[in-house]
Homo-oligomer: A and B are copies of this chain.
Amino acid sequence: MSLNKSLIERDLAVLWHPCTQMKDHESLPLIPIKRGYGSYLEDFDGNKYLDAISSWWVNLFGHSNPYINSKLIEQVQNLEHVLLAGFSHENAIRLAERLIKIAPKNLTKVFYADNGSSGIEVALKMSFHFHKNRGEIKPLFISLENSYHGETMGALSVGDVSLYKEVYNEIIIKSIQTPVPKDQRLESIYEPLQKLKELLEKHKNNVSAIILEPIVQCAGSMHMYNSEYIKEVKKLTEEYKIHLIFDEVATGFGRTGKMFASEYAEVSPDFMVLSKGLTGGYLPLSAVLLTDDIYREFYCDYGSGKSFLHSHSYTGNPLACAVANASLDIFENENILEIIQPKIKLLTELLEKFKNLKNVYNVRQTGLIGAIELKNYKLEDRIGLKVYKYGLEHGVLLRPLGNIIYFMPPLSISESEIHEMVQVGFDAISSLNK
């Protein structure tokens, strides 16, 4: 029996995989990975796969990156973990300093958590608690239609992808969704803004915050919209005295061509939530950046009962903070935000030819995120699954979102790897017409 096959059997006997209908694996290949290097993953039978989705949008500088590895090894030999309540360590401090330095202005404090969902929960709880500390009960949150903010019940409640949310409606709190601009054109922002104003007017005393993914709703079919919308939302949040939360879990750390997607709007939120690429794709960690205004509202005598007592055991884990700092080192030392610009241009050029395919509805791109939306397929065709299989058979890991084929490779991807990745995507989509 091949090594792959033996591991697959063992796997299917004990594991329930995330975001997976396990019955699919009766026909779909499950792939046990032995090692990773650069943009590639290699299975136990020696097959290689170009990781065109950065292993769920986390990897930035290639798998098993020697520099990041060296920093992890250095850290573990000194300190693997210490609780962050009452205690601290250098990598947690240094990471917070650096995040604040590169973040939109006015974000001056960092609260750590373990994953994107937990980070979103911190922001939501803190925003609600802030208003409560001021004597106001504002139990509503507004989010965009088609948004995705994670899977724990608070994060899920502000999401709007029905595939993940609908079945749990009875066990999550109610939130309000407002229309997202329907495309990247400036003119598509006005109607949604009007709707948002009406919502705010109606609920103004009950809303703690608006949460949004700036310019790209990744899990929401890689939907992209104009950054001017965010500028206007910022004005509204100021007018109505509610918080603005940016979920940059997926869009942060260079994916969009800038360090943070919100830079396109030149807007500072009250909260910014980071995860995924934060550790270069190594370890779960999230960081919630927030303003001094918020921090000060909680800063008072313990007896006042206004403390934010949220915690996770591994908050600010030294190993995760060490690799996050190593990842920021690479951004600085290798001028990553400049180096990726020609790659982004190349992707733009290569995406052109998809527009001529008769089953392509729309091609869109922001930075190193490229998405191709197919048309004339029904959900039950599971066309994405066919593209996924085609990709694997041809050495490229694509994981379409329904009818959306997308690329979100590591920032370290080479130009020739971009060619390979896009060509296999093109062939996969073309093959559907045959």
Tell whether A121 pairs with B31 under 8 Å between CB atoms, given A64-B80, A313-B284. Answer: no
A1-39, CB under 8 A of B: which get 1 and which 0? 000000110110111111111111000101111111000
Inter-chain contacts of A282 with B (CB < 8 A):
76, 80-81, 319
A65 to B164, CA, bound (A): 40
The yes or no answer to A376 lying at the interface (CB within 8 A) is no
The yes or no answer to A254 lying at the interface (CB within 8 A) is no
Judge whether A7 and B56 touch: CB under 8 Å.
no
The yes or no answer to A377 lying at the interface (CB within 8 A) is no
Inter-chain contacts of A170 with B (CB < 8 A):
128, 137, 139
Judge whether A93 and B56 touch: CB under 8 Å.
no
The yes or no answer to A264 lying at the interface (CB within 8 A) is no
Cβ distance A356 to chain B, nearest Cβ, rounded Å: 30
The yes or no answer to A251 lying at the interface (CB within 8 A) is no
Across the two chains, which residue of chain B brings its CB closest to A127?
A: B171
A307 to B315, CA, bound (A): 31
- Number of A residues, CB within 8 Å of B: 124
Q: Of A111-119, A226-234, A338-346, A363-371, which stretch is located at the interface?
A: A111-119
Q: Among residues 68 to 119 in chain A, which have CB atoms less than 8 Å away from a CB atom of chain B?
A: 68-69, 72-73, 76-90, 92-93, 96-97, 100, 108-112, 114-118
The yes or no answer to A153 lying at the interface (CB within 8 A) is yes
Tell whether A93 pairs with B22 under 8 Å between CB atoms, given A80-B69, A84-B17, A153-B125. Answer: no
Across the two chains, which residue of chain B brings its CB closest to A4?
A: B88
Judge whether A314 and B118 touch: CB under 8 Å.
no
A35 to B312, CA, bound (A): 21
A24 to B86, CA, bound (A): 10
Give the contacting residue for A10; candidates B36, B77, B93, B314; CB below 8 A.
Answer: B93
Judge whether B284 and A85 touch: CB under 8 Å.
no
Identical subunits present:
2
Judge whether B18 and A312 touch: CB under 8 Å.
yes
Chain A interface, >50% SS class: mixed
Q: Of A179-187, A293-301, A413-421, A422-430, which stretch is located at the interface?
A: A293-301
A28 to B301, CA, bound (A): 13
Judge whether B14 and A93 touch: CB under 8 Å.
yes
The yes or no answer to A241 lying at the interface (CB within 8 A) is no
Tell whether A17 pairs with B85 under 8 Å between CB atoms, given A36-B80, A275-B313. Answer: yes
The yes or no answer to A178 lying at the interface (CB within 8 A) is no
Give the contacting residue for A315; candidates B18, B65, B92; CB below 8 A.
Answer: B18
A310 to B153, CA, bound (A): 11
A150 to B58, CA, bound (A): 25
A309 to B166, CA, bound (A): 11
Inter-chain contacts of A146 with B (CB < 8 A):
none
Across the two chains, which residue of chain B brings its CB closest to A65?
A: B80
Inter-chain contacts of A81 with B (CB < 8 A):
36, 55, 58-59, 63, 281-283
Tell whether A33 pairs with B79 under 8 Å between CB atoms, given A85-B19, A86-B399, A171-B125. Answer: yes
Give the contacting residue for A21; candidates B68, B307, B382; CB below 8 A.
Answer: B307
The yes or no answer to A151 lying at the interface (CB within 8 A) is yes
Cβ distance A178 to chain B, nearest Cβ, rounded Å: 19
Q: Among residues 294 to 351 in chain A, which have CB atoms less than 8 Å away from a CB atom of chain B?
A: 295, 298-303, 305, 307-317, 319-320
Would you mind naming 16 contact pairs between A and B with Cβ atoms under 8 Å apart? A14-B108, A16-B295, A18-B310, A18-B316, A23-B300, A33-B89, A41-B87, A68-B80, A80-B281, A115-B115, A117-B312, A118-B152, A128-B168, A164-B309, A173-B173, A283-B320
Which residues on A are within 8 Å of B, measured CB to CB? 7-8, 10-11, 13-24, 28, 30-36, 41, 51, 53, 55-59, 63-65, 68-69, 72-73, 76-90, 92-93, 96-97, 100, 108-112, 114-118, 121, 124-125, 128-129, 132, 137, 139, 150-155, 157, 163-164, 167-168, 170-173, 275-276, 281-284, 290, 295, 298-303, 305, 307-317, 319-320, 380, 382, 388, 399
Given known contacts A20-B309, A284-B313, what 6 new A-B pairs fall within 8 Å (CB)?
Answer: A17-B88, A31-B87, A115-B115, A117-B118, A137-B170, A283-B319
Which 5 A-B pairs give the minimum distances between C-beta atoms?
A: A153-B154, A18-B311, A19-B311, A284-B314, A152-B152
